[in-house]
Structure 1
Amino acid sequence: MAELDDLFHTDQYVGPERLTDLCFKLICENLDIISVKGRRGHRILRKGITFPSEICDKIIEYAQHSEATEDDDCFFSIFKNLTATRLKHVKISNCSLTDVSVNTLVNHKLYDLELTDCSNLTELCIEYINDNSENLHNLAFHGTSMVVPSSLNAADSSIDYYKRGYVFKTPSLRRLALGYVGIPASEYAILLKGLTHLTHLDLSNSFDINTFEFYYLVPNLVSLTLYNVKVNTDPKSFVRNICQLKNLRHLDISQSNYKHGQFDNPNKILCDLVNGLPQLVSLDIGGTNLAGRGVAERPIDTKIEDSNFGQLSDIPGLASRINKPLQFLGLYGTAHGACRRHDIPAKVVAGDANEDQILIAAHVCMDNKQELLQKVLSDLYHVFRYENCHRMDQALCTVLEAMEKHPAQKHIQISGSATLFYIVKMKEKGELVARMKRRIISTLLAGMSAHRDEETMMRNGCLALCQFRIPQDVMSNYEALVKVLLHSAKHSEPESFVQRIGIYLLNSLACQVEGKEKRLLGKLGCVKTMLELVEYRVESGIFDDVLEVAWSTMWNMTDETSVNCQRFLDEKGMALFLLCVKQYPHKEELLRNMMGLLGNVAEVEYLRIHLMQERYVTVFASLLRSNSDGIEVPYNAAGILAHMASDGLEAWTIEKPTRNEVLKYMVQAIESWDLNAERNINYRSFGPLLRLLDVYHTSPCQHWAAWALANLTKVYPFKYCALVVKEGGMEKLHTVIADPRPYERIKELANLVIENCYQYETHSDDVNVSHSALDPEYSLDG
């Protein structure tokens, strides 16, 4: 095994992505580029396209990280054309493909085929493999990809394996992994018959191999993995049989089940095993008691002189390896804390004694030891939670790899997401490059999507995401994140922390984004979900921050997005508005958010007719006289009424309150506000305000717009003066001043806006000149 530093590579996430990676992602996210759909949905490669194996193998790899394989058999049909496509090395995980797709793949005469957690496969796929096995060197079925029947007896199986004399007819096979084999020990002879060229055999989690009496079938093994296989029933016979494999360099007999790892006379068993395998360099005895009790004992091996007793290993069974240490020794979960001992004859140790041991253990458990991996990740979490982590980059890669490889394992996702929170939180600002950020966010979202009803996972994921810049860092995963958060908002426990943090994130996602993303929020049901949250609280008499943030989210997502304003009206939002005003008449933040939202609705000309009802206008008019500390509520109320009045006298179709009364109250309210008041508002465009400057038939509309511009350019000149100039506001303001129709106060405010903008531009020019004078590049004297 390589040294720890060689196991983790973060340099692939530094710098821009390779062009080839981007191409593969684009193809897999848009399969119509290379294929068309047939009548039954199966994809057919477009005519004229030919791909070599290097491209085909990669397409399958990248497709598993996109939605391309949602209908797996339909996707893999792309590779039915053996002339135009070629496959050599295929690895597929967490996939619902069937035997039909396996047949399509193996027709390419593969060199490698690894299938992990593909639960729809049956023993029929073995037959397809046998028919196309001449090049096959590596075959693996991991996790729930269980293709070997529970019995190979003809009476219990559709195929008479004994009559034909084999199960696998793969003459070139070197590596075989079969997880969860459930056949009796006596049937391994037929299972492995003919596989004499095997060098690597993995029977992890298999039911019963007894004492490995079939060793003579695989005499050339250099690697044997028997993780979670019970071998302690007759350990002497097991050791004797294993030791016939004189070329064996790696042996794994680790356990996650404590009972299966307990041996009588463990020191003697381990000693005999190590001495009987002279080529052994890698040994995993994690979860067993084979490391002994950790107390000083006399040598077990009589070949070791008593004079060397003081130099003996703290693991008695490995005393013979003091001068020839193992390259790797797995001690994770061993009895009596073996990994914490001092004199261990191994260069690299997996355990839980320190950060390095934990990272090594994670590397060893990564692919096929899911039960142990979740424990290791929990240990890694505690390193970050309570200690100082010195290998943060390696830990980050470890956690991401574990979560990516095992998306369906809830506890792996929970532990991983908790650790990611601390890693991202501890990282210095700017230390995470863009590619690594995207990978972290994508991995978190995949876990949250797979376990979106698991409150702990959702809490961990949301807290980790809060460490990023929202929405800037999540734009490449915007839709996926919105879907997850909306589900959480709708289905998590009412008033729970998960619901609260999810809604805060949704509000952040609705803010500082353009129309495309705002429209997507509405399309995915954000307006409806927010209104449901409001309705629940109104009916339950609950006032909390979720109620306020739900209205704030709708305010943000309706900003200059008419389709979302329409959705708000269609979903009976105005009825809830009236209920909230009635139930919480003095909650200023709530009123501000609601009125801001309705201000967005009022900006949409064809929607204003829906606001022209006595019950609504009465509320708007009464809020003009709101005696709250700030001006936001009356300001937004005046804005709504200004837009409604801008449609002209004939558009005012209600009797009470009258149009003249409302306009009078508007002017009174506007003139009562402090022009220097600081605001809690963010304009991305002055289009709606500038349009009101053109409403010469109703001067109070101009009054509100001119006051707003005067206030904003005076209090926040650096933010809004340039916006006035950019959007043609100066010309409109000069036109207002020159026109005889607006009354004098409007012209005063217009003049103030112009003066604010001129002063800002002059100040900016002065600042630029002074900077140039200080810059050596522009120094006149060289």
Structure 2
Amino acid sequence: MAHIDALFNSKQYVGPESLAELCFKKICNNLDIISIKGKHGQRSLIRGLVFPSEICDKIIEFAQKCDNIIVDDDFFLIFEDIIATRLRRVKVTNSKISDISVGIIANHHVTHLAFNDCEYLSKLSIEYINNNSKNLQSLSFRGCHNVNPVDLTSYIDSSVNYLKRGYVFNANNLRHLALERVQVAPEQYPILLSGLTNLTHLDLSNASNIGNFEFYSSVPYLISLCLYNVKIIGDPHAFVENIIKLKRLKHLDISHANHANGIYKNSNQILAELVNGLPNLLSLDIGGTNLAGRGVAEHPIRDNTRVCGGGGGGDDYYYGLCDIQGLACRVNNPLQYLGLYGTGDGACRRHDIPAKVISGDANDQQILIAARVCMDNKPDLLQKVLNDLYHVFRYENCQRMDQALCTVLEAMEKHLSEKHIQISGSATLFYIVKTKDKCQLVGQMKKRIIGTLLAGMSAHKDEETMMRNSCLALCQFRIPHDVMSNYEPLVKVLLHSAKHAESEGFVQRIGIYLLNSLACQVEGKKKRLLGKLGCVGTMLKLVQYRVDCSIFDDVLEVAWSTMWNMTDETPINCQRFLDEGGMNLFLRCVKQYPSKEELLRNMMGLLGNVAEVDALRPHLMQQQYVSVFANLLRYDSDGIEVSYNATGILAHMASDGIESWSVEQPSRDQVLSMMVEAIERWDLSAQRNINYRSFLPLLRLLDVYHTPECQHWAVWALANLTQVYPNKYCSLVEAEGGLEKLNNLLTDGRPYNRIKSLALSVIVHCSPNNTRWKQQETLQSSSDAEYSFDG
């Protein structure tokens, strides 16, 4: 076990992705590049393509990371042709593949094969592997409950009579074997391991009963033995006597996640016998047991064997320099690694421990080592370790933040289906990104964090705690800038949360705030995608629930704000709003909440976007709507915004001409008169809570000479914005041809004087001689340049 700094490779999280990685992602997200899809979803490799194992293995690896690919039997048909494709190292995780896919993979005579959480595999998979095992060096089944035989002497469990044929695995060259949750009787292990004489690494984690390991002679060349969560039911001394027959053993794991299953009588004696009997031992994990002793002075251990480092048989040895009495013989020959996570009596906090690297919970270094050790094969223990890491960030000060970040990301990526790992990981990520200087997070790292959070949210979208943690973590980033590469997955999971999370709950609330932030700061295609994914309908359902229940809260306001933002210059979303009953809810909200300024502003802003669409204005030309718009012209409780938006809606409607005004009451003339009255009440120097990306809708109204009142509203808006925010809006007026239209107003005889006066003020504001605008523009440009340089 190397030093802790060598355990974490942060380079994989920083810097740009390699060209190879980008190519594999492209292929896996577009499998039609290499394969043809049949009528029933099955795939086949395009004729003429030939791929070596270096490519095929990576395609399988990257395909399992893609959200839009289901790695199932249809997918593995791509590799059915063993001439055109080659497989060597294959790992399949959390897949619904059947034995058919195992047969396809095994036909390639693979060297390394691992299946994790593939619940539909059966014992037939073993037979497919046996038929093509001449090159097999490593085999692993974890979480595949139907694969492991239960009774090797019965036909009931399998169609194969293992007892009669004398073996389970026919793989003479196998070096590594991992079988999780084996349930055979202790006396049947010689059959289970028969013929595996070259085995050097054996993992029997969570086996139900291995007796006293009497079958040690079946695996005489073991270098590594993992018996994680295996309770020793028989005589522990007999168990130790059998284990120490494996003199080549370098790595031994007898740790437990449940401390109650790791209790030994005479624990110091047991550990001493074990360590004394394994002279080549480098790594030992006794986490979750009492083998570390109580850490207090006890009677000396009588050892009738020759102990490590010298001494004669039959002598008593007093160990004063070791706080774990059973390891006293390793004081001058410390272990490379000692696992003490979860041991009793504070073993990991003791001072004199004969090991170079220690896992435990005494500090962040020990916790990170514990996470590294149980990363791949101990998800139940990993969840506990991540909880400890979370508490370090919440209540203490983590000294190894970069390593912690790498650890959490890797844990969440490797154990996507483990709910509690995702919850603990997302909580820790929140504290990491909250604490860490954002400037130190390079783009690739931000992308990795956000992608990992989103994968966890998508896999556990109905888990409130997971969604809360992840949304809080995402709020630490710049929205939407940092999430653009994951824009669609984020929108989908937030919409699900908005629809299905507890009404009026925190998760629903923060999800809608994030959706509003996304809708506010994106344009074009991204706004249309929001509508396509159902954002308008989702927001309207939230509104309807609150109107039906007479609830007024911030969610109601933000739902309308989100629709306002997503309909901005996006006609298709405006159409969706009308098609899904938005106007009826608008009327109900106005009636129920007539004095809620923010709500009225948001609703009127949205309808202003609808009114800008020529084809949709006829839908607004109904007496019930026009009456509300006209009444709101007099609204001034919040300043000018509600009245301003109401005037804008009516200006766009009036711009279609007299013949298009089909409402008798209020009449067109009454409305136009009320519009002018409202405009003249507004303060031309008022600060605004509004953001224009384009002035084209306003500039279109400058050409409506048949109804000067429409021009009046548009030119007032330009005058206000260019006076209050010259550095932001003067250049926009000029860029979109506004100055020419304004000059035309000045020379035309139809607009009345007030319109011309306002038009002249806009021209003056935007004049090259306007030093205020130029100074502010120069300062803004300088600031932008400096920000870009720092970034």
Q: Answer whether TM exceeds 0.5 for this pair.
A: yes
Q: In the alignment, which residue of structure 2 is the partner of 1:777?
A: none
Q: 1:577 to 1:771 in 2, by over 3 A?
A: closer
Q: 1:772 to 1:222 in 2, by over 3 A?
A: closer
CA contact (8 A) 1:232 1:260 kept: no
Q: In the alignment, which residue of structure 2 is the partner of 1:41?
A: 41
Q: In the alignment, which residue of structure 2 is the partner of 1:687?
A: 696
Q: Does 1:669 align with 2:678?
A: yes
Deviations 1:670-718 (A, max 9, x none): 1111110010011111111111111111111111111111111111111
Deviations 1:176-200 (A, max 9, x none): 0001111111211111000000000
State the Cα RMSD in Å. Answer: 1.8
Give how far 1:68 is off: 5.0
Q: In the alignment, which residue of structure 1 is the partner of 2:268?
A: 267
Q: In the alignment, which residue of structure 2 is the partner of 1:53?
A: 53
Q: Does 1:85 align with 2:85?
A: yes
Give how far 1:556 is off: 0.5
Q: 1:584 to 1:131 in 2, by over 3 A?
A: same
Partners of 1:771 and 1:339 lie apart in 2 by: 57
Q: Does 1:75 align with 2:75?
A: yes
Superposed, 1:748-763 pairs within 5 Å as 748-759=757-768
Structure 1 portions without partners, runs of 5+: 774-782
CA contact (8 A) 2:172 2:195 kept: yes
Q: In the alignment, which residue of structure 2 is the partner of 1:321?
A: 330
Deviations 1:268-296 (A, max 9, x none): 10000001111001000011111111101
Partners of 1:381 and 1:55 lie apart in 2 by: 38
TM-score by length of 1: 0.96
SS at match of 2:762: helix
Please tell me the residue identity of whatever aligns with 2:140: A
CA contact (8 A) 1:146 1:181 kept: no
CA contact (8 A) 1:710 1:752 kept: yes
Give how far 1:763 is off: 5.4
Give how far 1:38 is off: 1.6
Please tell me the residue identity of whatever aligns with 2:719: A
Deviations 1:485-530 (A, max 9, x none): 1111111111111111111011011111012111111111111111
Please tell me the residue identity of whatever aligns with 1:671: E
Partners of 1:761 and 1:183 lie apart in 2 by: 89
SS at match of 1:311: coil
Q: In the alignment, which residue of structure 2 is the partner of 1:780?
A: none
Please tell me the residue identity of whatever aligns with 2:92: I
Give how far 1:309 is off: 3.4
Q: Does 1:388 align with 2:397?
A: yes
Deviations 1:222-258 (A, max 9, x none): 0000001112531111111111100000000001122
Q: Does 1:717 align with 2:718?
A: no
Please tell me the residue identity of whatever aligns with 1:231: I
SS at match of 1:335: coil
Superposed, 1:319-358 pairs within 5 Å as 319-358=328-367
Q: In the alignment, which residue of structure 1 is the partner of 2:789?
A: none
Q: In the alignment, which residue of structure 1 is the partner of 2:28?
A: 28
CA contact (8 A) 2:727 2:777 kept: no
Partners of 2:125 and 2:248 lie apart in 1 by: 32
Deviations 1:155-210 (A, max 9, x none): 32211112222111111110000011111112111110000000000000111111
CA contact (8 A) 2:223 2:248 kept: yes
Q: Does 1:98 align with 2:107?
A: no
Superposed, 1:373-772 pairs within 5 Å as 373-759=382-768
Deviations 1:634-680 (A, max 9, x none): 00000000010011111101111000100110011111111100100
Give how far 1:447 is off: 1.0
Please tell me the residue identity of whatever aligns with 1:65: K
Superposed, 1:76-155 pairs within 5 Å as 76-144=76-144, 146-155=146-155
Superposed, 1:219-230 pairs within 5 Å as 219-230=220-231
Give how far 1:13 is off: 2.5
Q: 1:7 to 1:36 in 2, by over 3 A?
A: same
Deviations 1:737-768 (A, max 9, x none): 22221111111111111111115775566789
CA contact (8 A) 1:733 1:751 kept: yes
Q: In the alignment, which residue of structure 1 is the partner of 2:788?
A: none
SS at match of 2:178: strand
Give how far 1:9 is off: 1.0
SS at match of 2:767: helix
Q: In the alignment, which residue of structure 1 is the partner of 2:785?
A: none
Q: In the alignment, which residue of structure 2 is the partner of 1:212?
A: 213
Partners of 2:622 and 2:4 lie apart in 1 by: 72
Q: In the alignment, which residue of structure 2 is the partner of 1:776?
A: none
CA contact (8 A) 1:331 1:349 kept: yes
Q: Does 1:363 align with 2:372?
A: yes
SS at match of 1:430: helix
CA contact (8 A) 2:201 2:222 kept: yes
CA contact (8 A) 1:138 1:173 kept: yes
CA contact (8 A) 2:730 2:766 kept: yes
CA contact (8 A) 1:176 1:198 kept: yes
SS at match of 1:224: strand
Q: 1:211 to 1:772 in 2, by over 3 A?
A: closer
Partners of 2:114 and 2:71 lie apart in 1 by: 19
Partners of 2:771 and 2:241 lie apart in 1 by: 92
SS at match of 1:696: coil
CA contact (8 A) 2:63 2:71 kept: no
Q: In the alignment, which residue of structure 2 is the partner of 1:180?
A: 181
SS at match of 2:346: helix
Please tell me the residue identity of whatever aligns with 1:45: L
Partners of 2:772 and 2:506 lie apart in 1 by: 47
Q: In the alignment, which residue of structure 2 is the partner of 1:161?
A: 162
Q: 1:481 to 1:767 in 2, by over 3 A?
A: closer
Q: In the alignment, which residue of structure 1 is the partner of 2:200?
A: 199
CA contact (8 A) 1:103 1:128 kept: yes
Partners of 1:627 and 1:729 lie apart in 2 by: 29
Please tell me the residue identity of whatever aligns with 1:127: E
Q: 1:496 to 1:298 in 2, by over 3 A?
A: same
Partners of 2:468 and 2:118 lie apart in 1 by: 29
Q: 1:40 to 1:184 in 2, by over 3 A?
A: same
Q: In the alignment, which residue of structure 2 is the partner of 1:254?
A: 255
Count of residues in Structure 1 that have an aligned counterpart in Structure 2: 773
Partners of 2:354 and 2:781 lie apart in 1 by: 67
CA contact (8 A) 1:232 1:261 kept: no
Q: In the alignment, which residue of structure 2 is the partner of 1:19?
A: 19
CA contact (8 A) 1:301 1:320 kept: no
Please tell me the residue identity of whatever aligns with 1:216: S
Q: 1:81 to 1:552 in 2, by over 3 A?
A: same
Q: 1:741 to 1:610 in 2, by over 3 A?
A: same
Please tell me the residue identity of whatever aligns with 1:670: I
CA contact (8 A) 1:267 1:291 kept: yes
Partners of 1:310 and 1:56 lie apart in 2 by: 56
Q: 1:401 to 1:761 in 2, by over 3 A?
A: farther
Which is further off, 279-288 or 621-630? 621-630
What is the aligned-residue identity percentage?
Answer: 68
